[in-house]
Structure 1
Amino acid sequence: MQLMTTKFLKMRATLRNLRRDTQAVSTLEFALILPLFIGLGLTGIELAYMSTVNMQVSQTAISLADNASRLGQTDNSSVTPTVTEADVDSIMSGAMRQGETYDLMENGRIILSSLEYDDTTGLQYIHWQRCQGDLDRDSMYGDEGINNGLGSKTIEGVGLDDSLITAAPGSAVMVAEIYYEHNGILKGTFGETAHFREEAIFAIRDDRNLGPGITGSGGESSCDTKTGGGGGGGGDGDDDGKGKGKGKG
């Protein structure tokens, strides 16, 4: 009995000393909360990086639509210029170069559409459309083929539902859409892949001949392939001035 009492007293003394010992308490507390701080810090970095990339995608869309609206301004001839495949390839390549910092070619898709007014029906339609990028995405508005707005599916306009933008007769609206899959710095450690979609819309600022659509051949921005290339439809004009698409963009 005395032996048990002695052991009990020693145990109480040990616990009492342990309770009074405050050495390394701060280190222990820091070790316990360090994983939380690391998680919060990395999450903040991911969110900041995602916001930066989203802004860059938006700026690329704005630049593409702006450049597309000025395609005929450098033409000094007396003949009203048309848009050529080379013109479109140039601005599409510029957009891809702008997106190199966030791997736009591998993880994204840029789609440029020319929304125009059809004099015969009074409808809005996509006269031509060009694409680049490896991501498999289609325009939310349609394509230059059977979904160009002159068939069963009409196009009321582009942009926000409460303030749709339409092309005026004899003019066109350049619509740039960019789809992008963002994997993050740590490749999905803090969640699934984020999907961005940004668009920019500019009315043309030049005097261009809209009738033929896109002229020339050998374009590298066809919507028939993921990265573009191989030339596209929409460059052949018919008698009523509407380009004939080659298929779904």
Structure 2
Amino acid sequence: MIRFVPLRRRVRDSIARFTRDARATVLIEMAFAIPFLVLVGFGGLEIANLTLTQTRISQIGLNAADNASRIAAGSNLAQPQVRETDINEVFAGVETQAGNLDFKTHGRIILSSLERNDDGGQWIHWQRCYGDLDVESSYGEAGDGEEGTDFPGMGFEGAEVTAAAGTAVMFVEIYYDYQPLLYGKVVGQRRMHSTAAFNIREARDLTQVYNPSSVAVSNCD
């Protein structure tokens, strides 16, 4: 004899078995937990990427200042000269080191030659730039301090970098607009800024930047 169980009872029994099954509890917990874990996981990835990018930007600025402090071409018969092509090569190194940051589009590096003027004050003799980000130097532009002693140097107020007589300091400012991975609205627009300075490694001709090959000048206009 076939016994038919009413549909309502079968549904009730199925629900009862489901509620007694520990696996059901795990499924429910996972259903609630997985979205939260994904959110936290990607949030951690964003923070890690932000920190790594800031470190990379800082290192790029340090390397650029270091490389600029070494550039000079010439012979033993005269002081080495700084050429526009040498400066452009420093900026080419910046782009190579930046890699996938798309630095030219989202960043800008400002290289200044900080020197002593004839009055013993600080002077930004020349300045070159690379990158499309529309920012200006936070510490001065080419020609500042050419006369007198009012210009204190470059850097944070009260802790300015200064150049000694007969030498020069390659001062770098680097800016970069951070490109978020996923949480752009949460992270918001973040403009990274870093500075670096190196004294030139050997005596060089400080009168001008030479351009014997007539290459493009990386002006800051």
Q: Same fold (TM over 0.5)?
A: yes
CA distance in 1, matches of 2:16, 2:103: 63
Deviation at 1:183, TM superposition (A): 1.5
**Alpha carbons of structure 1 residues 169 and 30: separation in structure 2 relative to 1, 3 Å:** same
User: Which residue of structure 1 lines up, in the alignment, with residue 209 of structure 2?
Assistant: 214
Percent identity between the aligned chains? 36
Q: Is the 8 A contact 1:142 1:149 kept in 2?
A: no
For residues 180-202 of structure 1, give each alpha carbon's deviation from its aligned partner in whole angstroms, at most 9, with x where no partner exists. 00121126153212210111100
SS at match of 2:91: helix
Between Structure 1 and Structure 2, how many residues are aligned?
207
CA distance in 2, matches of 1:91, 1:161: 28
Q: Give the partner amino acid of 1:115.
A: L
User: Which residue of structure 1 lines up, in the alignment, with residue 135 of structure 2?
Assistant: 137
> What stretches of structure 2 of length at least 5 have no aligned partner?
1-8
- In the superposition, the TM-score normalised over structure 2's length comes to 0.84
Indicate the RMSD between aligned Cα atoms, in angstroms. Answer: 2.6
- In the superposition, the TM-score normalised over structure 1's length comes to 0.75
User: Which residue of structure 2 lines up, in the alignment, with residue 6 of structure 1?
Assistant: none
Q: Is the 8 A contact 2:174 2:193 kept in 1?
A: yes
Q: Is the 8 A contact 1:158 1:166 kept in 2?
A: yes
CA distance in 1, matches of 2:148, 2:48: 43
Q: Quick check: 1:116 aligned with 2:115?
A: yes
CA distance in 2, matches of 1:38, 1:185: 14
Q: Quick check: 1:198 aligned with 2:190?
A: no
Q: Give the partner amino acid of 1:218.
A: V
User: Which residue of structure 1 lines up, in the alignment, with residue 82 of structure 2?
Assistant: 83
**Alpha carbons of structure 1 residues 19 and 155: separation in structure 2 relative to 1, 3 Å:** farther
SS at match of 1:99: helix
For residues 26-71 of structure 1, give each alpha carbon's deviation from its aligned partner in whole angstroms, at most 9, with x where no partner exists. 1111211222211111110011111111111111111110011111
**Large movers: runs of 4+ above 2 Å:** 16-23, 74-77, 149-155, 157-164, 217-220
> What stretches of structure 1 of length at least 5 have no aligned partner?
1-9, 225-249
